[in-house]
Amino acid sequence: MSSELLQQVRVLDPVSDHDRVADVLIEDGVIRAIADTLSDYPSETIVQDGRGLILGPGLVDLYSHSGEPGSEERETLRSLARAAAAGGFTRIAILPDTIPAVDNPGSVAWMQKRWWAVSGDRSQASEATPTPYPPYPTPQLYCWGALTLGAEGQQMTELGELAATDIVGFADGRSLTNWLLIRRVLEYLKPLQKPVALFSSDSNLTGNGVMREGPSSLQFGLPGIPAIAETVPLLALLECVETIGTPVHLMRISTARGVALVRAAKARGVPITASTTWMHLLLNSRAIGRYDPNLHICPPLGNPADQEALQQAVQEGIIDAIAIDHTPYTYEEKTVSFAEAPPGAIGLELALPLLWQSLVETGQWTALALWRSLSTRPALCLQQKVAAIAPGKPAELTLFDPKLAWTVNGPSLQSIARNTPWLEQTVTGRVVKTWTGDNG
């Protein structure tokens, strides 16, 4: 039997809305007791001083990208698992735009078997791919099934066959532009009762833009992407959802006008949830003056008013959750000019500490508000049970030290990729342990 006691740790539980200091006893992957002080525990218990540490439910990532299969030089499933656990994530949902795409039951089965191999579950993994158990507990993997073949937005997949597998829901991760296809997809998905996530972006309005249109794009001499590149297709999508009635998760909301449209739609009772990404909360278009290719993301960083609107919307629950959208690239792919760099940045290991320092330490958000947006709300968007911190519940937990400083570099990162604007910078706050509720 394994037994751990965290003494006087700050416990954040969004389910009960509690933020308190307590002792927490964990035995064999289960929370056994929580009290102001605990003195009755097994003699072999490992006791840890939790003063100054934060204990919350495991974080949940709505959508991120894997390099494997097809682009293992960017990220493998093993390195993705390690990066997620190192960042405090106990559940991670992978978008289907791998090579080949996760667009049929066979590819879903391959992803699951490969993940079992990474986790060291030899009862499920193929004997042909023996893999030692990693130093971090492996998060639970969830795959999004592709809406279209190859996630290319042209031809619908066999949605019914995919729905019968263990996919978490349906998404391409890219914008769909064929509105007849979108209508049919929503109609076919309605009885399947699986989450569906859609990204609103009009490539015709995006043009050759690489950052949000506004004063900063003029100042920096970079072609801008107007806000209507997001809001025009978003308006059309909301009209479809309201008419057809299929619940939809809106990915990557990035503009103040997009927030206003989501707010109005929710007020009308349209069945939607929405997310923005962690970098859109942290930064705005002014940061691009450094011309760092790692700040080239999709959708682009918003103008200051967009950032302010997104922060307020997450606090109010208009934007339900924060997604990481971890997008790995190789050094060679990103070491080009800003406009030529492929859009995307890594974030699984950085999101919690940077958001904590920027929003919680400054007093803009409460600790519970941030944790809720990274844990319980994403789980609800995925139609999953939330992790609660209570006696008898599985220990699906993240232990975070908000004062621990570390340098973001090759030795400290678990991800293979290094495409982050914080590379070689010192960051304050780091996850020191995760429990996954089973092997912890």
The catalytic residues are 325
Contact assessment for residue 43 and residue 378, using Cβ atoms and an 8 Å cutoff: no
DSSP letter at 151 equals G
Please report how the helices 179-189 and 228-244 are oriented relative to each other, as an axis angle in degrees rounded to 10.
40
Residue 102 has a CB neighbour count (10 Å cut-off) of: 27
Q: Torsion angle, CA of 29/35/39/40, rounded to 10 degrees?
A: -50
- Extract the tokens encoding 307: 């950032």
Tokens of 131: 């893999």
Q: How far apart are CA 437 and CA 440, in angstroms?
A: 6
381 token code pair: 């968007």
E strands along 254-295, which residues?
Answer: 272-277
Q: Return the structure tokens found at 314.
A: 């997450």
Whether residue 193 contacts residue 283, with contact meaning beta carbons closer than 8 Å, is answered with no
Q: Which two tokens stand for residue 182?
A: 């979108």
Place of tokens 């990404």: 277
Q: Classify residue 303 by its DSSP letter.
A: P
Q: Distances in Å between the alpha carbon of 325 and those of 130, 347, 389? A: 29, 7, 26
Please check whether residue 61 is in contact with residue 323, taking contact to mean a CB–CB distance below 8 angstroms.
yes
Report the phi/psi class of residue 204: left, alpha or beta, with left for phi > 0 and alpha for psi in -120 to 50.
alpha
